[in-house]
Structure 1
Amino acid sequence: MIDIHNHVLIGIDDGPQTEEAAVALLKQAIDNGITNIIATPHHHSGAFLNPRIKIVEKMEELTKIIEDHQLDIKVHPGQEIRINGDMVSELQSGVSIPLNQSQYVLVEFSFTEVPNYVEKLLYDLQMKGYVPVIAHPERCKPIIKDPDRLYEIVEKGAIAQITASSITGALGQNLKETSLAMIQNNLAHVISSDAHSTEIRPFLLKEAYKVVAEELGENFTEVLQFNADAILHNKEVKVKAPQKMKTHYQTKKKKKFLGLF
């Protein structure tokens, strides 16, 4: 399996801070059946600024550790870029890194807001040949409140990535239901771990694929795994026409409204 979103580089963001923690996290990835991961440290998220030069240095450090410990896993460079006005120019200048130097760019929204310039920025990215990959939309409150916002973004050419722990229910039943609905309605196209540590934010990719297979069918699992591989190797992902959906927030709000009468 392939994981395109995680935080395994040492001391660069809120992932592992020591070699021991990083090795434990990588061993957990291997136990999950993961063979390749794209390391995506935070960039422009709060105090975290991780330009290419810093990531290259940390990648070399982790690669040596993998060799020293004889770990059967490969790590590739990337970033999780918090949406900002300099995104296009930083990608063009080489400050920022697409996922494994591909056309795919992992874009993070704030959990509490989606900026009003998002459509223009995503359009500009696509005009430069990039494909925006929206990180964990199921955890973004404005999208949960109004999933049509995700529908409009996907309809215009972006794809979306769901967090494995959202699918397994580790982050709550509502997020599990929302995540599966996004996948079923072709609003999400790849699953990733977003792993930070072995305990608090672990690799749960194997468990997530099992849930998808049980709830939606093996055909969905096959497409999701194909897309992770396609992103790693800079090939075209499989995307079907998106469908509109409702979330638990909207359903709860409607029930509350009807209860007034």
Structure 2
Amino acid sequence: MLFFKKKEILLTEFFPSNFIDIHSHLLPGIDDGAKDIEQSIGLIQKMASYGIKNFITTPHVLGDVYPNSSETILKKLEEVRAALKDQGLPDIKLNAAAEYMMDEQFSALLEKDDILTLKDNYILVEMSYFSPPINLFDVLFQIQLKGYKPVLAHPERYNSYHNNFEIYYKLKKAGCLFQLNLLSLTPQYGDSVTKTADRLLKENLYDFVGTDTHHKNHLHLLKSISTKKNLKKINHLLENNLKFLK
């Protein structure tokens, strides 16, 4: 029996020049990502070695669990920018938005237009993996009524939709853009998530990608995505991310 090794390529060749990661948790001590400034810098340096030097990092805004305000996030952003400068890393470009849980607190922020966008009017949003909000489509409507475009983080991870694929078409029809987690192409979240991600890719339902990096173990796993097969599947999405630099 013959065994064929996956045709791997260097990560620095996998990511296009000026690729921008639009989903990560690199600001220190405000969610379940980097715990301190040293971890923030370490994660950014490792990602830079992969060829990722442009970031819109997205800390959670999640009720009482991660009650981050725009002010808190922007203050942490300046701390990391200063540390990058001190470390002599001028080629790193770091901005910040947020990953908003679509809950009552988010609706209140939306009403006040107190939103950190990825760029222009794009908002990164998420929901419970097991119990989406009953008023989900009302929230998506309100987001667009306020002039924003919802980008749903990692739709492949919403377990309650895995056996109800039609919901993905309904979300797209409702104006929702989809962001694939690159780690969903690895064993990180389990077979069901990977299979759903593959189907969403085949159906051409994704718009963007993100690493959703929280810690160094994620970056270790990220190395395994750099195959020619994966690049063929998602190259158009990697290129789509470049629009956030324009």
Tell me if both proteins adopt one fold, taking TM over 0.5 as the criterion. Answer: yes
Deviations 1:117-171 (A, max 9, x none): 1111101211222111111111111121312112200122111111111112333
Deviations 1:207-237 (A, max 9, x none): 54x35x505x63x43320122122454xxxx
| 1:214 equivalenced with 2:229 (yes/no) | yes
Stretch moving more, 183-192 or 109-118: 183-192
Out of 90, 99, 112, the residue aligned to residue 118 of structure 2 is: 99
| 1:78 equivalenced with 2:101 (yes/no) | no
What stretches of structure 2 of length at least 5 have no aligned partner?
Answer: 1-18
What stretches of structure 1 of length at least 5 have no aligned partner?
Answer: 234-261
Out of 103, 109, 113, the residue aligned to residue 90 of structure 1 is: 109
Which amino acid is 1:7 matched to?
H
CA distance in 2, matches of 1:59, 1:28: 18
Contact in 2 for aligned 1:32/1:203 (Cα 8 Å):
no
* TM-score, normalising length: structure 1: 0.79
| 1:131 equivalenced with 2:149 (yes/no) | yes
CA distance in 2, matches of 1:146, 1:62: 41
Out of 201, 219, 228, the residue aligned to residue 241 of structure 2 is: 228
| 1:173 equivalenced with 2:191 (yes/no) | yes
CA distance in 1, matches of 2:135, 2:151: 17
Partner of 2:13: none
Structure 1 residue 60 displacement after superposition? 0.5
Root-mean-square deviation over aligned CA pairs: 2.1
Deviations 1:86-123 (A, max 9, x none): 435414534321114x2111111111111111111101
Contact in 2 for aligned 1:83/1:109 (Cα 8 Å):
yes
Structure 1 runs of 4+ aligned residues shifted over 4 Å read: 203-207
| SS of corresponding position for 2:23 | coil
Partner of 2:219: 202
Contact in 1 for aligned 2:99/2:126 (Cα 8 Å):
yes
* TM-score, normalising length: structure 2: 0.84
Contact in 2 for aligned 1:29/1:203 (Cα 8 Å):
no
Contact in 2 for aligned 1:43/1:51 (Cα 8 Å):
yes
Partner of 2:60: 42
Contact in 2 for aligned 1:164/1:204 (Cα 8 Å):
no
| 1:28 equivalenced with 2:43 (yes/no) | no
CA distance in 2, matches of 1:127, 1:207: 40
CA distance in 2, matches of 1:75, 1:203: 21
| SS of corresponding position for 1:133 | strand
CA distance in 2, matches of 1:206, 1:104: 28
Which amino acid is 1:73 matched to?
I
Greater RCO structure (CA 8 Å; 6+ sep): 2
CA distance in 2, matches of 1:191, 1:120: 25
Contact in 1 for aligned 2:162/2:192 (Cα 8 Å):
no
Which amino acid is 2:191 matched to?
Q
Contact in 2 for aligned 1:28/1:203 (Cα 8 Å):
no
